[in-house]
Amino acid sequence: MLVNMKRMLESAKDGKYAVAQFNINNLEWTRFILEECQSNNSPVILGVSEGAAKYMGGYKTIYDIVNDLIDYLHITIPVALHLDHGSSFEVCKEAIDSGFTSVMIDASMYELNENIEITKKVVSYSKDRDVTVEGEIGHVGSNMDQGIMYAEVMDCVKYLKETGIDFLAPALGSVHGLYKGEPKLNFDRMLEISKITNIPLVLHGGTGIYDSQIKKSIECGISKININTELQIAWSNALKEKINSDIYDPRKIIKLGEDALKECVRNKIILLGSKGKANTQNNI
């Protein structure tokens, strides 16, 4: 069932668990993720970056793939199709017009007032269309960035008040991709932002964060955790281990990483506490 993230993440916040956003890259990954989440009766968010959208043939193609797979595989869990890091109003609009049920507008590279103006435009377009919006404050960078920048509490309050976004992704010390050294999450700031905004918070850069930190993040108000690189590593390691010159059928090649990818998805669902939560959400 294709839904937006509102009920999904509000239930997660109330129930003190988190829903994973797994990024998709092709038809097979989409299928593997859907099948594993269905087997575990877990809600799921399928994240699509702008790069993945270009690779897969555009937002409409992705919407059709996801929608048709849900039908073909008899998927009954709540599934959100979410634009990850939309860089402009135009990109968000394109995803929404193609059937995406949720978008992230990431205007965090601009100063706060400009970020607010761009975000407001996306929120206003999405509201009539039953699409949820995630926004970013501070900047979740990569391990190439210098130093750590944590979101300011009062910036988050102003941003939420003026834009009316549904979910907030504040920079809290996580990075996209692999960490150089230890992840340095600011849990005090996380809790403060959660208490003052009272909306579900999103943690980007889920790869490489210790299990204990993931658990603590959920206690401090995180309801959605984005995971991409870890799936890529699990899938590609399995592929490298198993491939040989007798395997040339592309379907068999991609399938070599299926079990590893599914195992990674299953472990995250268990860690985040969303296993078994699909029915609760459907019945609300």
Nearer CB in complex with ligand 13P: 176/277? 176
Q: Let me know if 68 is a catalytic residue.
A: no
* Residue 63, C-beta contacts closer than 8 angstroms, at least 6 positions apart: 81, 98, 99, 100
**CA 249 from chain center: how many Å?**
31
Minimum separation from the CB atom of position 99 to ligand 13P (A):
20
DSSP-derived letter for residue 80 is: E
Nearer CB in complex with ligand 13P: 96/171? 171
Q: Nearest CA to 32 among 1, 75, 3?
A: 75
Minimum separation from the CB atom of position 79 to ligand 13P (A):
17
Nearer CB in complex with ligand 13P: 206/273? 206
DSSP string computed for 146-189: SS--PPPHHHHHHHHHHH--SEEEE--S--BS--SS-----HHH
Nearer CB in complex with ligand 13P: 78/205? 205
Residues that bind ligand 13P (CB under 6 A): 23, 47, 84-85, 176-177, 204-207, 226-230
Side-chain-side CA neighbours of residue 59 (13 Å): 22
Minimum separation from the CB atom of position 25 to ligand 13P (A):
12
Give yes or no for a contact between 21 and 223, defined as CB atoms under 8 angstroms apart: no
Options 64, 71, 84, 106, the catalytic residue: 84
Minimum separation from the CB atom of position 239 to ligand 13P (A):
18
Q: Which two tokens stand for residue 193?
A: 């932002």
CA gap 143, 152 in Å, rounded = 21
Residue positions annotated with a catalytic role = 84
